[in-house]
Structures are given as C-alpha cells and as structure tokens.
Amino acid sequence: MVSIRQIATEAGVSPATVSRVLNDDPTFSVSDQTRQLVQNTAERLAYIKPERFTKTVQVVSSQSRAMEVIDPYFRTMRLAIEEEAKKRAIHLTPTIRIFNQRTKPDLGSLSDVGGLLVIGGFTPEALAELQAANQNIVAVDDATIPASMDGVYIDLFAYTKKLVDQVYAHTEGSVAYIGGKRAMRNLDGTEVIDDSESRYQAYKTSTKEHHRLLQAKLGPWTSEFGESQADWYLKLRNQPDAILFANDPLAIGFIRGLMQANISPRDFPHMLSFDDTDMTRYTTPTLSSIEIPLQLFGENAIRLLSERISGKRTHASRVILEPSITFRESFPESLIKD
C-alpha cells in the first residue's frame, strides 16, 4: 500500500502537508498548485485512503520509558490513561517517544488513527505539527497549548500565585522556592529548556507584588538537587519562614540534607511540596504536599478524545483540574487559612 510519506517524497512536500490535503483539513492554508500536486500524485500512485481506526489512539510522549517507570507522577498518569482506555474499549498503539532520538518520527500514519494523546511538554511548533497530522488531539498536563486544541491540565500559575499570596498574608518574612526549569521537546527530540515553568513564575510574581525577598533556586527535578540546596539555605543571612518545592523528591532531598548537617527537625523551615506521593508520609517531619489528581487526567483525556473521535463536538474543550493540599507536620494549615 502506498504511504503518506511516499506521496510526500514524490511530490516534494512534507508528510504533514499530504495528510492535511488528503484529509480535506479546512484549517490548512496551502496554494491551489500544491493541493493539486498532492492530489494528482496520490492518484497516480493509486493511493487508497484507509478507513480511520476510530477505536485506536496514538500516544505521543516527551518522557522516556525509564522515566515513566521510575517517576511516580508519570507512572500514575500513564496507568490512569490505560485504565480509562480499557473501560472505553479504546486500543492504545505503542507509544511514540520523543526523547533524545536522532530523527523526527514519521507522522504520516497519525492521520489513520482515531486520535492523538499528547503527554508532556512540547514546543508550539511540535504541537502544530501533531495537530496538522490529526485534528483529534488532546494534550495532557500542558496549560500552554493553542486555543484550538483540547487539553486536560492544572492552572499551576493561578494556583501557586494564590497559595504564595496566602502565605505572605500570614507571615512578615520571606518564602523561598526550590524547583526545576521547564523542558519542552521538538519532534526531532531536541530539548528547549527555560525558566518559564508556571510555579516559579507565579512565585516570582507574588513575591514582587508583596515586596518580599526573592529567594529561588532552579535545577534538576531530583532529590539530589534538593539535598544540595540544604547547604544554600543554611548559608542564607535571611532564612525564609517557608519553602515551596516544585515536587516531593526536591523536598525529601532537602530534608535529608538538613539531617546530614545535624539540624534538628524542630529548627526546619516550614515546607510544602507538590505531588503528594507516598514518600511524604515517611519523612521526619512528615511532609505537607499538594495532591495532583492524576487519575482525573487519564479519565478526562480519554473522554475528551472519545468525544472528538465520535464527532460529538468539533470545538475545543478544556478540563482544568484543581489540586488539594494534605497538611502534615512540615507546614501548618494556619499559614494559609485564618
């Protein structure tokens, strides 16, 4: 059978252009000459447009297989997606992983599946290419997607901004932030890293608005980096009243670093982290953490994609989920509530 890529090679255009022309994508702007060239080439090569496998979904992820296995955040999200897909009798094809590969994957086959489920951080250019290949697309865990795309995410900027505002309303001291940078991938696997991560930007905005001391450190999203920041904290002349961590491993590493420096837990700063993994229950002190409803990511992503595939709607739809805090010993509820 003649493939999309074969037609693209013969016509001298991209596979995405061939896919959008042959699928009569109304949002695709292309010259009449190119459109005619693609159609004539497809006809000359006896291309037969396959029936779209409406119960088949292609997952495209920016995470490596190892990351999904060892990181509880991505592992739980993936299991939730698989569970909901099974309930709805949707077949998930083998995941396309955009992670340190040397070449861009063949996108021609993406037009043949019912829809795409995109997990992780991708550049705007990468998202545009994926959407061009298949209009039935849902992005998971990315609040920066284009308006025309379905998505399930948490507005981490708004949530974190409100949270830090509340802490400042209950303390005259400073709040520090320890987190990581935002990583996005192009489809050829190259990575774009910057400091636009929502929680960090929200922390900066709130701190500046309240005219407080900005104390932030960004690095790898690992417990090792968190541990290294204990030394930074101990050397600060003006130590913060509280520290917000972008994930649990950072906070747990930080606690380990303080313990190794023989700091008593009663002298620790107030600490609050994101993700609320099982590890938070076994630290000393136990760690207050913000739960991300990962199960709802999976349920809503598959539901939105099913609606698109079945033709129930054509307009974009978003599901914005709300996190919740589990208060433990490291951070009292009184710091954000009267």
Q: Are residues 229 and 128 in the same domain?
A: no
Neighbours of 158 (CB within 10 A): 13
Domain of residue 135, CATH code: 3.40.50.2300
- Give the three-state DSSP class for 120: coil
pLDDT score of 53 more than 60? no
Confidence (pTM): 0.82
pLDDT digits (tens, 9 = 90+) for 128-187: 999 999 999 999 999 999 999 999 999 999 999 999 999 999 999 999 999 999 999 999
Q: Are residues 163 and 18 in the same domain?
A: no
Domain count, the chain: 3
Residues ≥6 apart with Cβ < 8 Å to 140: 77, 81, 117, 118, 119, 120, 151, 152, 153, 297, 301
Distance between start and end Cα atoms, the chain: 68
d(CA 257, CA 333): 25
Closest CA to 96 of 73, 74, 119: 119
Q: Are residues 150 and 189 in the same domain?
A: no
Q: What is the 3-state secondary structure (H, E, C) of 26-56?
A: CCCCCCHHHHHHHHHHHHHCCCCCCCCEEEE
- Give the three-state DSSP class for 291: strand
Q: Are residues 287 and 175 in the same domain?
A: yes
d(CA 61, CA 68): 10
pLDDT score of 204 more than 80? yes
pLDDT score of 118 more than 80? yes
Single-letter code of the amino acid located at 118: V
pLDDT at 338: 65
pLDDT score of 213 more than 70? yes
Total residue length of the chain: 338
pLDDT digits (tens, 9 = 90+) for 55-108: 899 999 999 988 888 888 888 999 999 999 999 989 999 999 998 887 888 888
pLDDT at 49: 66
pLDDT digits (tens, 9 = 90+) for 104-117: 888 888 888 999 99
The H-assigned helical ranges of 240-315 are: 248-260, 294-310
pLDDT at 26: 65
Q: Are residues 248 and 265 in the same domain?
A: yes
